[in-house]
Amino acid sequence: MKPSVTERIKQRLEEFTHALEGNGVIQDEFTCRKVELNLKPQSYNPDKIRATRRLLRASQSVFALLLGVSVKTVQAWEQGLYPPKNTACRFMDEIRRNPKYWTERLREAASTKGSDPSCN
């Protein structure tokens, strides 16, 4: 009978533990991969933030909801009072990378609001 996934994971972890405790070179015994992602966020000035929001044809309030920040925060960014944090910049990078997807995503989210009769 073929061992279960749980049994295979346990077996491989035990093998890995023994290799770590020994003096062997881990890379010689196991496949080791290092994945590097080039995901350093761009910087966003007020014009670029506004342009990103307009790619979605979204109001400041809708844009704020999408990014998980307050409307006042979006307003402050667009007025240049302070820059967005890296997390928001990465999100805006993804929006700029594929605005069609995010526009559709907003449309889907808006169309489901209030559709659950138990919410009335």
pLDDT in tens, 24-43: 777 777 787 888 888 999 99
Query: Between vectors from CA 94 to CA 46 and to CA 33, what angle results, nearest 5°?
Result: 130
pTM of the model: 0.66
CATH topology of domain 46-112: 434 Repressor (Amino-terminal Domain) (1.10.260)
Write out pLDDT tens, residues 53-82: 999 999 999 999 999 999 999 999 999 999
User: Which sequence spans correspond to the domains of the chain?
Assistant: 1-33, 46-112
Tokens of 23: 């003096």
Residue type, 2: K
Q: How confident is the model at residue 17 (pLDDT cuts 50, 70, 90)?
A: confident
Give the pLDDT mean for 92-99: 97
The mean per-residue pLDDT over the stretch 90-118 comes to 84
Whole-number Å distance between alpha carbons of 120 and 113: 11
- Number of CB atoms found within 10 A of residue 53's CB: 22
| 83 CB burial (10 A radius; 0-12, 13-18, 19+) | middle
